[in-house]
Amino acid sequence: MTERLQLQGSMVAIVTPFSGGEVDYATLGNLVEYQIEGGTQAIVPCGTTGESPTLSHEEHDKVIEFVIDKVAKRVPVIAGTGSNSTAEAARLTKRAKDAGADACLMVNPYYNKPPQRGMFDHIERIAEAELPIMLYNIPGRTGIELAADTIAAMYEKIPYVVAIKEATGSLDMASAIATACDITIVSGDDSLTLPIAAVGGKGVVSVLANILPREVRTLCDHIAAGDLAAAQTQHKRLFPMFKAQFCETNPIPIKAAMAMAGLCNNELRLPMATMDEALEPMLRETFNPFIDMK
């Protein structure tokens, strides 16, 4: 590997649509086309928004393979292949590499709370698959945080580590990472895409792009062009939706909004539940200026 893959811009953490308890592949195919037509620059299946914890191993592999085939190299596919088992994460990553994924999204090992040296060794083992890795730092979901120094060590010593999805919610952490090394930083929170760009961030793995890919792409294009005034204006236009989509745990609200827009069923897998009905009027009112809500 002579040059690190560049992963940046408007990337979508795509939902996994269900119908009658099964993965709805026809709708998933439609959503992939919707993203590409909307200008999304990379597609990330089987992440948090894709409800990966509720997918069986067979479904996980199949969803990734389906998205890769449907995308057909038009944009990069960053496959969510993380696990709290290093062996399972390595297996998922090797399978994604063999299927043609361009990179993988590697969430911190959750629940077992390893030390920093354990997380370094975890990523080093996964890198044996020779697939570019986007680290995913989200302590609110995993109970463990990658330290900036550990991220820098991974970037400097593991050539396949190319980027980090920074979702700690801390601008200080984004600054610490940028100070420690030259890894590509992308926001893991829509509302922090612009603030993180101020310290060198290069885009977002977006939830909102599931329903408004063009709008998120516009924000990222303004940032890439260095047009701060236009980026600020777009950020403020989208900010109410950035917040509304987290009125309950992701992906509950975004799936509800997508169902209102006719993009997919409002079906999740337990222990996720459909959104509290009392929140529906707020969601419709927030999204209506941008997309026709049923």
From the list 162, 186, 161, the residue with the least C-alpha distance to 174 is: 186
Whether 70 is a known active-site residue: answer no
For residue 134, what is the enclosing H or E element?
Answer: strand 133-137
Estimate the crossing angle of helix 116-126 against helix 148-157, to 10 degrees: 30
**Active-site option among 97, 165, 202, 255:** 165
In 148-227, which ranges are continuous DSSP H helix? 148-157, 171-180, 193-197, 213-224
Whether 165 is a known active-site residue: answer yes
**Active-site option among 136, 155, 160, 202:** 136
Structure token pair of residue 163? 């980027």
Q: How far apart are the first and last CA of the chain?
A: 49
Q: How many CB atoms lie within 10 A of CB 115?
A: 10
Distance from C-alpha of 256 to C-alpha of 253, rounded to nearest angstrom: 5
Distance from C-alpha of 278 to C-alpha of 257, rounded to nearest angstrom: 14
Is the link from the previous residue into 271 a cis peptide, with omega within 30 of 0?
yes
* Per-residue exposure over 173-185, b if at least 16 CB sit within 10 Å of its own CB, e if not: bbbbbbebbebbb
Strands 78-80 and 203-206: unpaired
User: 3-state DSSP: the chain helix, strand, coil percent, rounded to 5?
Assistant: 50, 15, 40
From the list 61, 64, 56, 68, the residue with the least C-alpha distance to 21 is: 56
- Enumerate the active-site residues: 136, 165
